[in-house]
Chain A
Amino acid sequence: MDAGHTTEPRGIEIGGYDGDVATESLQKLLNEAFPDATELFVVDRTGGGDHFQVTVTSPRFEGLSLVDQHRLVYDALAAPLSDGTIHELRIKTKGTA
């Protein structure tokens, strides 16, 4: 695994033309934010590395409104959202109950 190699945000390219690299870096951020997720995947919707569909199922969402569930995802992806890596983000969240 990549533990210990995280000082450089590996593979984040501003304007990201490499869809796979961008998808991987989002996946990594989400894995760190939701270590107990039972389902977690990122899809590059257009192949352009900037329109993503994120799906997360986690016990952390139990009892939270959808707004608060999505806020947790936005928090995890704050950096790529603010630097323009993510142009469009679709989110699907679920609790595990």
Chain B
Amino acid sequence: MSLRDQISEIIETEPVALFMKGTPSFVACGNSQRALTALRTAGAPVTAVDILPDPRFRQELSALSGWPTIPQVFVKGELVGGADIVEELAATGELERKLTDALGEGFGDAREERVIALAAA
């Protein structure tokens, strides 16, 4: 599968996708940490994707989303934003509402945090 198809599939199929620098157990950037912390606080079932292993990961993601910076958070295929927006939405409680609307009550119960690795074509 092409890189772009892998990224689209993650965006479309994962309830909450976080494209970040590093992984939740080894975060490599303060802004990725801010987004992860906000998502965790809201109880989101995070699927994390590390964009650092290959510069093409980030290029393809930004080409697809039209969003120039990392991190990027998607809920059910929709771009929710980067660290600033996710943090702001978490602070106002709107993030939890959005998660409930998109994923239903008990959105956090189903799954643990997980990591998907992209494969360079």
- List the interface of chain A (C-beta within 8 A of B): 66-67, 70-71, 74, 78, 81-82, 88-92
Contact = CB atoms under 8 A, between A and B. Distances in A.
A81 B31 contact: no
Contacts of A90: 31, 83-84
A92 to B, nearest CB: 7
A81 B83 CA distance: 17
B115 to A, nearest CB: 24
6 contacts: A67-B80, A70-B84, A71-B67, A81-B68, A90-B31, A90-B83
Contacts of A67: 79-81, 85
B79 A92 contact: no
Chain A contact residues: helix, strand, loop or mixed? helix
A66 B69 contact: no
A92 B83 CA distance: 11
B82 interface: yes
B113 interface: no
Nearest to A92: B84
B69 A89 contact: yes
A80 to B, nearest CB: 11
B66 interface: yes
Contact of B85 (A70, A74, A82, A88): A70
